[in-house]
Structure 1
Amino acid sequence: MHRTALALNAAALLLAAPVSANLLGNADFTDSLSGWTIEGGAWNHDATGGTPTPSGSARTNLVSGTTSSLTQCAPLDAEAGSGLALRAWVRSTGSATSRIAVELYSSADCSGDAGAGSALQQQPEVGWGLTYTTVGVPAGGAASALVRLELEGDGGQAWVDAASLDPDLAANGHFTENLAGWSLEIGSWTRVEDGLSEPLGSGRAVGAMEGALISRCVVLAAHPLSAAYLISGRFNHQDDFGNGVVTLLFYEGLNCDGNNLGTRSLVGGAGQLGTWESFSNLDLSPPLHGAEPTPRGARSVSVVVWFPLLFAGDVVYVDDVSVVPGPLLFLDGFESGDTGSWSASVP
């Protein structure tokens, strides 16, 4: 009996990884822990326990009262107002806490504090889970970044894999000095000395009758077929509960002009007043790496952050808006509107 099957051709087998500009060496722990410094705990290379494919990972035994940590110093040339995004995949077999952090320095050897840093702490999942944080570059720029991966627990084992430090495509997403580059469309927006990451800074809106809305155009990295992007940010409601809606409008022009090739929206709910909440498309499991596939031919995206349920006079803060390349398993997951990168065969 014949069954119709889809067979991948050579183009579809290519990873979208060339879009990413990962600044870390040996980020996938493919053959060893080379390039990483063990600062705490006992770490080993696991040749079969990686993600998205079993090609290697870093493994540690969790001992009560002990912090297992890996670090790497990455030289860079980051201008003031730009941003960096750090992510890594983590899993554990027992009760554990993971912490991922990036610190910026004024010298290429991770010395001379540049006055910027960001960290995120969470509970690793039994399966692979993505830990993600971003940092804005302060006045004076930065010449290096120290990446730190930490794990603590009362027993069992934990793994780290697929670490990535990428330049942020959404400039001034941390509002470190001003609101430059953003279109202030609804509500009264100002930059304030508040936020989550160092240096402090965020966008503050006093709502109008239509809520509050801020947007900016982001030029996407060049790609041959299609690519995917990780979108994230944080908001803080001060007066009333409501959703933050992030809408992505993809365009064929470099300045968010020309034909609109597609629209996608992400919704983040406010769980508690006065608390920073996250919105992101980072909840997908491997091998998608939480990435947002883009329509074929998209060269820019308008990132629109909207608070439609905000009452006039209510206050909300926005910070850490980030857009970075994120590899998909395939270059074309049919999001381009055709099947040009796939071929059909009948065995």
Structure 2
Amino acid sequence: MITFIPLTGFLGAGKTTTMTAAALALQEQGRKVAVITNDQGVELVDTKLVRSQLDAVAEVTGGCFCCKFEDLVEAIVALVASDDVDTVIAEAVGSCTDLQATVVRPLRQYYGEQMVVAPLTTVVDPLRFLAFDRAAQRGEPESDLSYLFCRQLTEADVIAVNKLDTIKPDKAADLLARLRTDYPNAAVVGYCATGGDHLPELLGAWGGQPGNEAVDLDIDYDRYAAAEAQLAWMNQELDLAAVDGSFDATAWARAVLEHLSTWAKDNDSLIGHAKLTVETGGEDFAKLSVTGAGEEPSLDRAAQSTATSARAVVNARVACEPDDLDRAVQDAVTAADQAHGVTSSATTPVSFKPGYPRPVHRLAAAGA
């Protein structure tokens, strides 16, 4: 019997880091674990990083799990068949919601004899939660993105508050207590995926009973679609070459993301996430990310040596128009090239806005 663990949560919450850390922890317990990444586009930065740490990895691209349901099932079947897997962890697109009805219940109904579907887990960045909450406290109208964020919390069986090290302990305790009050059907767990603090509590929550299995999410698909359409999505590849000698791939990537982060702050554009890998040859690569306008990039992995040439991949999800994101990334790359002695050639920008979500299945709760 296969165990399937579904993760959701807003862009930048740390789903991939959570998924990878959990997979490694479960493997230490003797489980054979595979993971599945998911995105509206192709060429995923996260998949590269995950494959550097785990053997059994698949991806579903070109749409969310609900709209690519059969692709998800095929990925699960292929992983189980090829790698003798007993546990699959999958992270949905960060702008996706309504997964109880469109993914969890269909899997239980149509494949319940082959797999156990664990409680749906929503991964939360506390700083993102507090930012949306401050806007509400100021009396601002609820934005479509805030609406989407709240729907992700409302349908969760487990609310997994990641990055607790980014806020003070007293604020962390208050936040966890508030979430337990506001979402009584969910188990609320606080942890830090990067350091592993309290990760066993999250793993334990996956063995609990779903709290929202019999509850239909009240969701307005027009608002859901509007929220997704606020974000421009870019996946772009670049070939890099040193002008003279070699260059520092990690420093170049940091410069790109710093420039993009500053641009987003100056233009009041929310960053869902911006991630960048630079492959310098063989298994060596740098990976950095930024999840807030004006924030400093975080380093997930540094390149081990300088390079004369490299291949970079940019994944950016920013609340702006696609043409604006294309120009912003182009300007960021140009600035990094000039600062670090690099020439770059890129594929044609392909920023886009997701289409209207159209799930393959949408099942009501039993008895509803």
Q: Please give the TM-score of this superposition, normalised by the length of structure 1.
A: 0.28
Q: Which has the higher strand share?
A: 1
Q: Please give the TM-score of this superposition, normalised by the length of structure 2.
A: 0.27
